[in-house]
Amino acid sequence: MVGTQNPSSLPALDPGKLEAGRLESVHESWRHAIQSIKPCEGLCINCIDGRPGNRWDFRAEGPPAFSLNILLEGRMQGAIDDGPVINARAGSAILMASGQHTSGWDRLDGLSESAFRMVCIHLPQASITQLTGLGMDDLRRRLRTSIGEQPHVDAFLGVMPASGALQRVAGDLLGLEGGLAGDCIAGNLHRRAKAMEAIACFLSENITRQEAALPVPGDRRRLFEAREMLEASYAQDWKVSSLARAVGLNENRLQTGFQALFGVSVHACLIRIRIDAAVRMLMGGASVTDTAYAVGFSHLSHFSRTFRNHTGVSPKQCAMGVDAGPIFRPSHAGSTCI
């Protein structure tokens, strides 16, 4: 089985050079699940959606690049050569940002009966710098994360929780692969727009406005655990005190840590998560009333007012198909803006 092989002995892939119809270097049981699209110069979108039934180990290497991976289902491991191993599960965003030619390995776990679903958005260093105005060093120093730096090489490989908004965009990209021809002009424009939306969503959630002092690594791990709890149980009546106890921090360190690491208070983070979940429910056909109570609001009027403040449209308009716009809008001077 490929999963038992030593990754260092396997042929290497460059994620930016996979091409549709030319997947000879991809393990045969995974080829049917992969769609590789280049909607414009410098942008490569690799979508994996299938049930391969085994593990796929491979080496990955390439020139300086920005690679954002959104894992919707399945598990994966990876490492930059001589660096620590990262472990990602469903609902994670994996970022690789390198300022030099970098090599490493990945293991995609498709052993379970459920699907393996992931989107990889790959841009060369020059393209991400042109888009954001940030050099790779600046970008890496502003990342809100608990781990990821590789002190032995000019690169970053880290795992962060993927918000519901980011997962929704990734799902949209996977859906496009089944409904639009690969060389369709409109389809490529749509893919490019969705890829840019995913990058913008990721940066808005994970990049500080400027390099800032972040909580100590031990606190950062607990702060990410706290955010994951809010994402998983947003309908619960969370108090700062109960969340602090759940992750082993005192209330002050939890509040100040959220503000420093995520740019918002605990309450504001929970509201954003609830509104994002509400958008998904409304777009899926749920009623406004059922949605309000399901995401943790006890009063319909409060839900409607909060929803409009965050999205620019009413819940009813969202249910009718009106674009709800960006969920994570800057709401105060300390919010992320790059």
Please report, for the domain that includes residue 142, its CATH number. 2.60.120.10
Range of the domain at 182: 2-206
Does 44 fall in a domain?
yes
Please report, for the domain that includes residue 254, its CATH number. 1.10.10.60
Task: State whether 93 and 233 are in the same domain.
Answer: no
Task: State whether 191 and 223 are in the same domain.
Answer: no
Does 50 fall in a domain?
yes
Task: State whether 309 and 183 are in the same domain.
Answer: no
Q: Which two tokens stand for residue 272?
A: 């954003």
The Cα–Cα gap between 58 and 68 comes to 18
Q: Which two tokens stand for residue 27?
A: 């393990």
Task: State whether 175 and 153 are in the same domain.
Answer: yes
Task: State whether 102 and 65 are in the same domain.
Answer: yes
Angle at 274 between CA 273 and CA 275, to 5 degrees: 95
Domains of the chain: total: 2
CB 281 within 8 A of CB 242: no
User: pLDDT digit string (tens) for 74-95?
Assistant: 999 999 998 888 889 898 999 9
Per-residue DSSP letter, 154: T
Does 104 fall in a domain?
yes
Boundary-marking domain end, from 186, 206, 226 = 206
Task: State whether 41 and 147 are in the same domain.
Answer: yes
User: pLDDT digit string (tens) for 51-78?
Assistant: 988 888 888 899 999 999 999 999 999 9
User: pLDDT digit string (tens) for 162-219?
Assistant: 888 898 899 999 987 655 455 577 888 889 999 999 999 898 887 766 555 667 767 8
